[in-house]
Structure 1
Amino acid sequence: MTVRTDLPPALRRATELLAVRGIDPLVQDGYLDTLRQPPGSVADAEGTGIQAFWASKAGAGFYRFAQALVRAVLKGSRTPTEWLVLPSKGVILDVGSGLGHVTGVLADSAGGDVVVLGVDISAPMLARAARACTDSRVGFLLADAGRLPFDDGCVDGVVSTAVLQLVADRAAALAEMVRVLRPGGVLTVMIPSTKHGPAKLMSALPGGVHYFDDDELPGMFAAHGLTDVHVRRKGSFQWVRGAKNPAPGNAPVR
């Protein structure tokens, strides 16, 4: 494919990463559609249950309400940017970016030399996110978390907040995040870690929500070869951070 030169900087950078896999995205509503799906549709791999609900206009509206409620009530859900070990340059991937709130926070926290790409399966949410975000360092893509449309080791950091518990194949999604992360890069995931306390509010969401045991996600990180794994618990939420083993001769991320 030919890299688009008529796009904002972040989306142009995204097309460069897609080019290595020969994906020719459709540009619509301010985001790149790597699945070339009609607005409101959902990828086959995520086409049932809660993923299909989030892809609908009703789901996008409900998500906006639920996200505002969670941010207001659950302090543990707020992004601890000082703890994430964000890269100072390159590309950060926000997997399951929804309405783009965390995507914008990551861009503000990482600095001017970083591009942040939000990836989500919901076209309505991406359209809202693209309209709301005016930062040229931020771009959004319609893509499947279980089949990220990027080459191996091409992004400098990956963050995913309150998404993995909604994905049917959590191991596959985590494996994709690790695959696209460059050696030495850091992956950070936030999930609800208990069925007790304020996180029970999430049980009202349509479809199934997986609540992680305290050791489950750190164990998945280790199983996928991530090292220097750190866990931070905030209220009913758990943040887990790990580094991908660097290439020989490169120092590990601290």
Structure 2
Amino acid sequence: MSARDRLVALLAEPPADRGGPWLDLVEGRPGSRGRLQDAWESTTGAGGYDGVLGIGDRVEAYVPDLLGGSLLRSFYRVDERLGLAGGETVLDLACGPGTLTRRLARAVGRRGLVIGADLSEPMLERAARSTPFAQVDFARMDAMDLPLRDATVDALSCSLCLHLVPDLATSLAEITRVLRPGGSAAFAVPAHAPGPLRAFSEVLAQVGQARFFGPGDLASTLRRRGFSEVRERSLGGIRVVDAVAPV
């Protein structure tokens, strides 16, 4: 069975069109979700984001721990944070150009399935071109209205997505719903600057019409939703949070 067939089998409703390098599973055309999200919806923005992520992907193995290498690796090695052993079904929510998707694909192997999901069509086009794995398929999805059935994925990667959604509670409810009980989740979100510099990061968030997270913000929210084994680490301007879905 192809990755496309396996993905379709997990959907709440069959797609209208099963052709193309990725499925469009978004109802209608969502309006603007802020300046930063609008940038990722453009070809130029997607290309710039791809370039930045690509640099980190190439150098993370060589950066010494004293220069933040261990924290950099914790962002990119999401497959290790999820504890993937092979054969799992993984949702890479906000997959962007597919940088982390490819790592996840190697980890789950041919028996597994990785679903790369993003709202940006230019991002999905880049991801589909650069991810030649039979166990991967891509789909355009809205993080606040995931088209998957309940408890359909074993693990979920959600890197640099939650700061862009208009309603954080709705997105986390959807993430909890599609994860199987006890499934692993790995998040990465932009962080507010510490101390007096926070005012500067708040301005950046307002300009980009995005949400930044303070220490413990996401971790405490996940705990209130029943997630366990919640662990948060700071990676400069990014907070990395891992958790286990409610049982």
- TM-score in terms of structure 1 length: 0.78
Which shifted more, 124-133 or 206-215?
Answer: 206-215
- Structure 2 residues not aligned, in runs of 5+: 61-67
| C-alpha distance 64-218 of structure 1, shift in aligned 2 (>3 A) | same
Residues 209-235 of structure 1, C-alpha deviations (whole Å, 9 max, x = no match): 322111101011112211121223334
What residue number does 1:52 align with? 38
| Percent of pairs with identical residues | 30
Poorly superposed stretches of 4+, deviation over 4 Å: 45-48, 69-75, 203-206
Structure 1 residue 104 corresponds to structure 2 residue 90: no
Cα deviation, 1:143-202, whole Å, max 9, x if unaligned, reads 1011000111111111111221222222221221111001121111112323259xx7xx
Question: Structure 1 residue 220 and structure 2 residue 221: aligned?
Answer: yes
Q: Distance in 2 between matches of 1:23 and 1:48?
A: 30
- Which residue number corresponds to residue 132 of structure 1? 130
CA RMSD, aligned part only? 2.8
Change (3 A) 1:59 1:23: farther
**Are 2:33 and 2:166, in contact at CA under 8 Å, matched by a contact in 1?**
no
Distance 1:27 1:124, change over 3 A: farther
1:122 to 112, 116, 120: 120
Whichever residue aligns with residue 209 of structure 1, its letter is A
Question: Which residue of the partner structure matches residue 4 of structure 2?
Answer: 11
Report the secondary structure of 1:26's partner residue. Answer: coil
Q: Structure 1: which 5+ residue stretches go unaligned?
A: 38-42, 247-254
Paired residue for 1:91?
89
- What CA distance in whole angstroms lies between the structure 2 residues aligned with 1:45 and 1:172? 17
SS at match of 1:88: coil
1:175 counterpart = 2:173: yes
Cα distance change on mapping 1:208 and 1:48 into 2, 3 Å: closer
Q: Aligned in 2, Cα 1:154/1:46: closer, same or farther, shift over 3 Å? A: farther
**Matched residues, number:** 228
Q: What is the TM-score when the length of structure 2 is the normalising length? A: 0.80
CA distance in 2, matches of 1:175, 1:49: 25
Find the aligned partners of 2:147 and 2:167 in 1 and give their Cα distance: 17
User: Aligned letter for 1:32?
Assistant: L
CA distance in 1, matches of 2:125, 2:19: 8
Can you list the C-alpha shifts for 1:62-100, whole angstroms capped at 9, x where unaligned? 322343466569852423532322363231000000101
Instruction: Describe the shift of the 1:224–1:87 C-alpha distance in structure 2 as closer, same or farther (beyond 3 A).
Output: farther
Report deviation, 1:205.
Answer: 11
SS in 1 for 2:171: helix
The letter of the residue matching 2:147 is P
